[in-house]
Amino acid sequence: MKIKIIAIAVLLTVLSLSGCSLSGSSVSATTEPDAIAYEMATLDNGDIGKDDSIINEYKILIDRIEDKTVTSRINILNITKTAQELLKEKGIDKTLLKILKDFNSYIPEGPEGFKLEEVALAYMIIMTEEKN
């Protein structure tokens, strides 16, 4: 139990130090919403056209997560990228789209105002425990 608490504290620290709660991405917070979906889609799929239909999948999930949390679109991008990097360090390879789908499924509908950082932390703990 003590190890899990330490792991949670470390992950929270890493998330906060990585800029998840700040607007530290290459996409500014004032850009059009599809720019964030486009960035995530290109990170997963390489060079794609701005009208590629896959972008809409990312946009829909980002919209849903934004509606279910108190997290901005830019922070959804940052948190998802950070989760992907941390999982990759543990040998777990997931696309940003898969992580968005998982985040979305973990967050219930309703006005609870979840913080995506907390959802991401729980998600990463579950994913790493499933691997072991």
Q: What is the pLDDT of residues 20-65, one digit of tens each?
A: 443 334 444 444 448 999 999 999 999 998 888 999 999 999 999 9
How many other β-carbons are positioned within 10 Å of the β-carbon of residue 10? Answer: 10
Contacts by 48-54, CB closer than 8 A, 24 or more apart: none
pLDDT, position 71: 94
Q: Can you give the pTM of this predicted structure?
A: 0.76
47 vs 42: CA distance, rounded Å = 6
50 vs 54: CA distance, rounded Å = 10
Domain coordinates in residue numbering, the chain: 2-131
H runs (alpha helix) in 1-132? 2-17, 33-45, 54-68, 73-89, 96-106, 116-131
| Residues recorded for the chain | 132
pLDDT in tens, 95-111: 999 999 999 999 988 77
